[in-house]
Structure 1
Amino acid sequence: MKTILLAGAALMAAPFAMAQSHNAHWEYEGDHGPDHWAQISHDYASCAGAEQSPIDLNGYAINAAINPPAIYWRNARVTDAQNNGHTFQVNLDNAGKIVVDGVDYNFLQFHFHSGSEHTLDGRRYPLEVHLVHASDDGRLAVIGIMFARGEHNPLLDDLINVIPGSVGHAQPTMSINLNDFLPDDWHSYRYEGSLTTPPCSEIVDWTVFETPITASADQFAVFETLFPHSYRPVQERGRRFVLRTN
């Protein structure tokens, strides 16, 4: 996948916070919704780009002789838990890294979308978590994992207990092991895309796992209540290659 450089990797520590730093107000519905993001502000012009995310992951993917990212996550302390009005975002202290095509990407933060932003053969899941990483030279790699209806998820319970009920921050005394997000089956899809919120910068090497993990209806209801329908509709794949890993 091509190398994409950023001016200042620190900006990527919180894509949603970066988007909110602009004066233009955006939402998931109505006159400030996804269909209008590119017109809201000049800063959001990339939202009309040709390599936007999310996309539907389907039979057009090419089965490729590549592996998913090598993952080196470890138990880490939560430094900030934020309700920013669009999502619940969690920052961790020194949680590890992933390696994609020989390049190290250090973990920055994870956040959720209710329902899933990516779809699989047209199916939207109730929830998706995005685990955001950046390399030393500012490239981004994000892992997306879906949640399907099923068994209760203990990690989600721990997180739900510390979500601020309104816009704001919390600094809970807790640790998280990101490996608890991983499904047993690591088959995944890789493609080049964008941030899924304004400014929609086309700077992301995406890996989306094919197999979801589970959570209960009560757990999904919490996210749907606090962040209803917080997903961008799927975008055109265009001429991009989507690769399915071994």
Structure 2
Amino acid sequence: MRFDKIIKSTFCLVALCGSLFGASNGTHWGYTGHDGAENWGNLAPEYSTCKDGKNQSPINISKGVTITTSKLEDIYFNYKSSTSDIVNNGHTIQVNVKEGSSIKVDGIEFHLKQLHFHTPSENQIDGKSFPLEAHFVHISKKGEIAVIALMFENGKENQTIKEIWSRMPKTAGEKECYCSTNEVLNSFLPKNRAYYRFTGSLTTPPCSEGVRWLVLKHYATISEAQTKEFLEVMHHENNRPIQDINARKVLLNSPLSF
């Protein structure tokens, strides 16, 4: 995940902003060559968690590590604000969101800051990789992070993606105005919002752990041409490889098998 200049107002986030949100003076990293994911942990001391962490993301959500439970509460979605702009930060296409949208998990309100995309998907479900994955990034007042992940499978053209792609900057470092309604955010969400939950990390340096991952069980669709268009803008795949799950378990709040 890429978090560029998401929040500045709370004192407890000052230290976090310099690393988590990709400050321009940080150590350069990428997805290919010497700066690729396999070397992130060696690029800088502050990136050491990328190689030493035990709760890293993404993961393969397999039957063997998944526990279905009725005790896992539904996610309360309150997406009511509009988007503000679209940024090509060189690692992904990021849609920034105006204040006012949130989710509630564990009785905590997490405020939606942005969403961005990876191709192919970073997380997998039962060994299946998807052509695109969207991450909806939320932060609580205490600086805790919760990420909603939505998978896109091959199918019919996605109209919301079509609108976003039509405005995405083609050059790294560019930003375009994108003042949509809240319908854009809500249009992504499936009607059935069952989800998998696990504790993980950022999927980009510094790979900080303690992130609440909430992976929606049901998918959206995207056409092969739309995936290709995104890949051509990025110039390369932008997903971190699957990480060891170690002792973690994944919780599923749906009684239905997958």
Question: In 2, Cα distance between the equivalents of 1:36 and 1:225?
Answer: 24
TM-score using structure 1 length: 0.91
| C-alpha distance 14-41 of structure 1, shift in aligned 2 (>3 A) | closer
- Asked if 2 retains the 8 angstrom alpha-carbon contact of 1:112 and 1:130, the reply is yes
Q: 2:78 — aligned with what?
A: 72
Q: Which amino acid is 1:116 matched to?
A: S
Q: Secondary structure at the match of 2:225?
A: helix
- Asked if 2 retains the 8 angstrom alpha-carbon contact of 1:14 and 1:109, the reply is no
| 1:169 paired residue among 168, 175, 179 | 175
TM-score using structure 2 length: 0.87
1:101 Cα offset (Å): 1.0
Q: 1:55 — aligned with what?
A: 59
1:234 equivalenced with 2:242 (yes/no): yes
Q: CA RMSD in A?
A: 2.0
- Asked if 1 retains the 8 angstrom alpha-carbon contact of 2:56 and 2:243, the reply is yes
Q: How does 1:163-242 map to 2 (within 5 A)?
A: 163-167=168-172, 168-177=174-183, 178-227=185-234, 228-242=236-250
1:80 Cα offset (Å): 2.2
For residues 196-238 of structure 1, the C-alpha deviation after alignment (integer angstroms, 9 at most, x for no partner) is 0001111310000121110111111111111221000010111
Residues 132-141 or 222-231, more deviating: 222-231
Note the residue ranges of structure 2 that are not aligned, 5 or more in a row: 1-10
| 1:144 paired residue among 136, 141, 149 | 149
Question: In 2, Cα distance between the equivalents of 1:100 and 1:67?
Answer: 8
1:106 equivalenced with 2:111 (yes/no): yes
| C-alpha distance 181-14 of structure 1, shift in aligned 2 (>3 A) | farther
Q: 2:129 — aligned with what?
A: 124
Q: How does 1:35-50 map to 2 (within 5 A)?
A: 35-48=38-51, 49-50=53-54
Identity %: 35
- Asked if 2 retains the 8 angstrom alpha-carbon contact of 1:144 and 1:209, the reply is yes
Question: In 2, Cα distance between the equivalents of 1:12 and 1:131?
Answer: 18
- Asked if 2 retains the 8 angstrom alpha-carbon contact of 1:9 and 1:138, the reply is no
Q: Which amino acid is 1:28 matched to?
A: Y
Note the residue ranges of structure 1 that are not aligned, 5 or more in a row: 1-5
Q: 1:3 — aligned with what?
A: none
| C-alpha distance 12-30 of structure 1, shift in aligned 2 (>3 A) | same
1:14 Cα offset (Å): 10
1:92 Cα offset (Å): 1.3
Residues 164-173 or 189-198, more deviating: 164-173
Question: In 2, Cα distance between the equivalents of 1:14 and 1:96?
Answer: 24
Question: In 2, Cα distance between the equivalents of 1:135 and 1:240?
Answer: 24
Q: 1:90 — aligned with what?
A: 95
Question: In 2, Cα distance between the equivalents of 1:9 and 1:146?
Answer: 32
Question: In 2, Cα distance between the equivalents of 1:187 and 1:39?
Answer: 38
1:32 equivalenced with 2:38 (yes/no): no
Residues 153-162 or 177-186, more deviating: 177-186
- Asked if 1 retains the 8 angstrom alpha-carbon contact of 2:79 and 2:182, the reply is no
- Asked if 2 retains the 8 angstrom alpha-carbon contact of 1:115 and 1:128, the reply is yes
Query: What is the number of equivalent residue pairs in this alignment?
Result: 238
Question: In 2, Cα distance between the equivalents of 1:206 and 1:43?
Answer: 22
